[in-house]
Amino acid sequence: MSGIVISSTSQKPRYFFHTSKISAAATSSLKSRIRAFPFLPLCGCKFELGCKRNRPFSWECKRSFEICALSSNSQGNNWVRVQPEKDENFREEDEFVVVNFYHFVFIEDPQEEVSKHLSFMQGRNIHGRIYLNEQGINAQYSGPAKDALAYAKWVKEDHRFAGVLVQISPVSNGHAFPRLRLRYKPSLVQLEGGISHLPLLEPSIRAIPLTPSQWRNRLEALNKVNDCSNGDLNGNCILLDVRNGYEWDVGHFQGAPRPDVDCFRSTSFGLSDSMVSESDPLAAIDKEKTDVLMYCTGGIRCDVYSAILRGRGFKRLYTLMGGISHYLKSEGSAGWVGNLFVFDARLALPPPVFKPEVKTEACKTQAFLDNSFAKCYICGSKVSELRHRNCANLDCNLLFLCCTACVNQLRGCCCLKCTSAARLRPVLPGHQRYQKWHHYREVELDRR
């Protein structure tokens, strides 16, 4: 490559790349040659590219690089524009993120463990839900990257939590949680009857975890069989959504039936002694021979519920490692339709949040255009946005999908009766979440 000019200042080195002849076809070769230079991995390098008298591009190096464009100046010389590649593990210190992880491990003194974690949190800007008990930890929290990632790193430095799968996603408007709740909790997830009696510390009792790529292969094979059988479910394999019905309403894996559940606490798939149940996809299946592919948002609900099903005699249990969020990050939206419901201020996230580079047009079409399953709770029409809202009636607070016309007509309520409620909040604009009631009560008093 000709015309490379390397200069430096007292602060940071600067590099100029100039080529006399290059075509788009040569980009791949040139990229590998540029990567070979030893100065490229240096963080903080200043790059100014273009002609020396008129330098149109200037930025600081954060990580490694890629050629993103070729351009020509007025003299006909070609110049290589280089920019930092995105590094999923790199975050600006003040960029807010949401972090999720859980881990089943024996904790001899969970109260002491809570005290250690609270001590580490001192002076750090973290909001969220972090629960510990004798069976392990379950954490979902938000904060600036420097604090949020520091806590996750500190947790993993403990040998008991070394294998934790930490999942990170962006949040655009500050905290996704109102405050920090870090405490001892008898159940890491809420389920009728509790979970402390379940042998969750025994991996062999829980479902066999499938990596995202393994899950994708199984999903594609299952849907192929179902398509060939006119949509009938494969008798040797069941796809089980271990979430709530309203979560399915905004997004799910293709072929997964809608769970008839309003709260995970009351989930009862496979627990009925009745051989026939329209609302139970596990009713009347062969427990010895049927593969049950379970999935949920982050994986913990599947791990817990698989232990229950194992106790009920189900032999072939599989779960999606890291849940839907891990799958979307690893495989994109292949096999997924809609958005992902999350239990924080964001409410629902489109697949590109987890994997910005959607690989194929087919994935784009499936993720964004196929929302025919999503219906307005009030009138039954298609909704344009896959995001829930809460009923404006505080004493109802129902989560529901709603079209714009019904939002305006019923003033943000889920039904006509709620529009005359005593504690009625204003219609929420856009994708906001309601604040505490006292905020609206004080606003109403000020108007009077």
CA 418 to CA 397: how far, in whole Å?
10
CA 433 to CA 284: how far, in whole Å?
42
The residues with which 292 forms a beta bridge, in sequence order, are 238, 317
What end-to-end distance do the CA atoms of the chain give, in Å? 75
* DSSP-derived secondary structure for 145-203: HHHHHHHHHHHHTSGGGTT---EEEE-SSS-SSSSEEEEE-S-SS--TT-STTS-TT-T
Q: Give residue for tokens 């839900």.
A: 129
Residues 154 and 120: beta-carbon distance below 8 Å:
yes
User: Torsion angle of alpha carbons 440, 444, 447, 448, nearest 10°?
Assistant: -160
Residues 311 and 195: beta-carbon distance below 8 Å:
no
Q: How would you classify the pairing of strands 291-295 and 180-184?
A: unpaired
Residue 248, helix vs strand vs coil: helix
Sheet holding 18-19, edge to edge: 18-19, 78-84, 65-72
Active site residues: 296
CA 347 to CA 282: how far, in whole Å?
29
CA 79 to CA 416: how far, in whole Å?
64
Residue 216, helix vs strand vs coil: helix
What value, to the nearest 5°, has the Cα angle with vertex 377 and ends 282 and 374?
Answer: 65
What is the dihedral sign for C-alpha 217, 165, 350, 87?
A: negative
Residues 326 and 336: beta-carbon distance below 8 Å:
no
CA 59 to CA 101: how far, in whole Å?
34
* Size (the chain), residues: 448
* Burial zone of 33 (CB within 10 Å; 0-12 exposed, 13-18 middle, 19+ buried): exposed
Helix (H) or strand (E) holding 227: helix 212-228
What value, to the nearest 5°, has the Cα angle with vertex 362 and ends 360 and 365?
Answer: 115
- Tell which residue, 313, 354, 311, has the closest CA to residue 336: 354
